[in-house]
Chain A
Amino acid sequence: MKRKLEISELIFKIISYTLLTIFAICCLYPFVYTISAAVSGEYVVRYNDLILLPKDIQFEAFSRMFNNNMFWNAYTNTLFLTFYGTIWSLGISILGAYALSKKRLLFRKGFNFFLVFTMWFSAGLVPQYLNYLDTKRVFNAVGIMDDKWLVVIAMGMAAMNIILLRNSFEGVPSEIEEAAIVDGATEMQVLWRVYVPMSKSIIATVALFFGISRWNGYFWARQMISNNNEHPLQVFIRLRLEEFTDPDYIAGWNYNYAPDSVIYALIVCSIVPILIIYPFIQKYFAKGVNAGGVK
């Protein structure tokens, strides 16, 4: 009896270790390959002579990117969009979620429905596109010529995140708020001194969600930002991918690295900052998933 138990356990353990290892390798391999291909020589990439480790090492593909002003421009634009976009979305979400978390708010159900309905039904791409075009016209009329501000202000709000914050604020005991009010705190001070410190981790999670979605934003940035110098990194990567896989563009290629290496180098450049902060933000992500799964 005892022995049979051990064997089945052992088999299951071996299976799970094996399959997990295979899956982990599958997850990791494309990244390793990308890095290797970015620094390998032209013929290695052209004739697929590369499996894991780079051969015939060159760094010209990277230096081509680093010497490209457009690349740094795109990076700055992405940082701009991520920074201001996260502050804008998070600020509005915190204020709204705080108000919605109060039982004494009149028409609370109505406001909640107003929010939740946007999660159920969206008008679709074309009406949104027309709406953004109108917004752009209005912004230009009042003197905001920079399309980046349109992306920051008009896009990226998510009802889900507001609801996450609201649920967390609802969990703060009302006695603490009452104590603060007795001590003469205004509404804003209650929010800033009591509620925000008490739900720090969920605010960090929501900020992360906003930040990631801003960093990754592609489609609307490409549609709405007309000036090439204002394109964020994602749009820049996509445009280069389309360019470097176009046979006409690479017809007279005469460098010691393959055009593919440039794209690989670009991908590496765009994921390095995420890889650096990844270990620090990973736990907040896990938290957010568990908070968002069931409410």
Chain B
Amino acid sequence: MQRGACDYLIFDEESGTYIENPEQIVRDDVEKHHWLNVGRMILKDWRLYLMLVPMILVFLFWRYFPMYELLGCFKITDSVKPVADQYYLGFSNFKNLLVGGTGLSSEFWRAFRNTFLLSFYGLCFGFPMPIIIALFFNEIRSNIVRSAYQVITYLPKFMSTVVMTSMVTMLVQQESLTSGMGILSQLLRNIGLIDAEVARAGLLNNPAFFRAIYQISGIWEGAGYDSIVFFAAIIAIAPTSYEAAQIDGAGKLAQMKYVVLPCILSTIVIMLITRIGSLLNVGYEKVLLLYNSNTYVTADVVSTFSQRYGIAGAMQGLASAAEMMNNVIGMLLVIGANTIARKASNVSLY
């Protein structure tokens, strides 16, 4: 920083002359020895900084080093050499994916669209369900009955993705020599929603059903559990609000509209914003466990695309380029959502 003469000299009333400013000398000293002081403070609290070390090492090794590995998508794919020794290729991987005109680029765009659509449908159908369930929970006055309902509806959340998808697979499986069609396919066929042929071939082998299966199993798994947040917001409403509304002659629906909804609106908005922020983070594990080559048309998302080409296949540069584009857009969405949430409610999500 530039210093003017007036910083260093002050007028001394007693002698009537200008003398050196002692405060500025101290300030200069602190500035000159800034890093020394930082070192001293760290030394004084070295135990505190030592506690940080394991966390930083773990995140550095297994979260940040992979980001360095991302440089691989600008380079010639050659898994034998380490990333540092490979030759730069520029943006050709990205070009292949975005405009290539090959089968790959159309496959990438399909995966990108599927990623977006799976989340978007989740937003449309999966998001309102927990709110509705929380409203219903509120109607049950008996604590024991409500706890029973809550315990039952939270239950599917505790199953692992593998167990959940195994159950789904079995419920809608195809007919084979040793087993009949899944019980759910049978039910749908009996009430006339799907053809016998379709049911027999297995719903998971039919691209038309993948999105529905994904969303419905998502609701089955998470709706009860996700209602916890909204239910907590609802029971925080003071009973006097309801009483006041009742005195004013509000029926049940009017109470919903003018008491409950405004009170839980901030929770809903924050949850919605979080949800929008993670629009491009589709859980790859669930898709990976549910899809097969018959359903790529509707099921393939960017992470499974890159898993297929980069981990199962050998096109690592291309696969990481695909996921990087997805994740960068995803990051912008998260940051944008967080900024909006902070502006809207003064609560930061992170």
Contact = CB atoms under 8 A, between A and B. Distances in A.
A binds B: yes
Interface of A: 1, 4-5, 8-9, 11-13, 16-17, 19-20, 23-24, 26-28, 30-31, 33-34, 37, 42, 45-48, 50-51, 91-93, 95-96, 98-100, 102, 104-106, 111, 114-116, 118-132, 135, 153-155, 157, 159, 162-163, 186-188, 191, 212, 215-216, 218-219, 223, 234-235, 237-238, 241, 245, 247, 250-251, 253, 258-260, 263-264, 267, 270-271, 274, 278-279, 282, 285-286, 289-290, 293-295
Nearest to A278: B158
B252 A8 contact: yes
Interface in B145-160: 149, 151-156, 158-160
Contacts of B288: 219
Contacts of A98: 51
B136, B307, B334 pick with most chain A CB within 10 angstroms = B136
A154 B162 CA distance: 21
Given A46-B179, A126-B320, A290-B229, A105 B48 contact: yes
B116 interface: no
Contact of B334 (A120, A126, A155): A120
Contacts, number: 287
Interface stretch (B13-21, B104-112, B342-350): B342-350
B170 interface: yes
A126 B316 contact: yes
A106 B170 contact: no
B176 A247 contact: yes
Contact of A260 (B48, B151, B170, B335): B170
Contact of A99 (B51, B67, B136, B162): B51
Interface stretch (B24-32, B58-66, B119-127): B58-66
Nearest to B302: A124
A4 B250 CA distance: 10
Contacts of A9: 251-252
Contacts of B331: 120-121
A37 B139 CA distance: 35
Contacts of A270: 160, 163
Nearest to A28: B152
How would you classify the secondary structure of chain B's contact residues: helix, strand, loop or mixed? helix
Contacts of A24: 149, 152-153
Interface in B317-339: 319-320, 323-324, 326-328, 330-331, 334-335
Contact of A20 (B140, B177, B246, B335): B140
B302 to A, nearest CB: 9
Given A135-B62, A295-B347, A30 B167 contact: yes
B133 interface: yes
A160 to B, nearest CB: 9
A290 B171 contact: no
B6 interface: no
Contact of B327 (A11, A122, A155): A122
Nearest to B153: A27
Contacts of B47: 186-188
A212 B154 CA distance: 14
Nearest to B281: A122
B220 A238 contact: no
Contacts of B226: 289
B267 A250 contact: no
Given A106-B42, A120-B331, A267 B66 contact: no
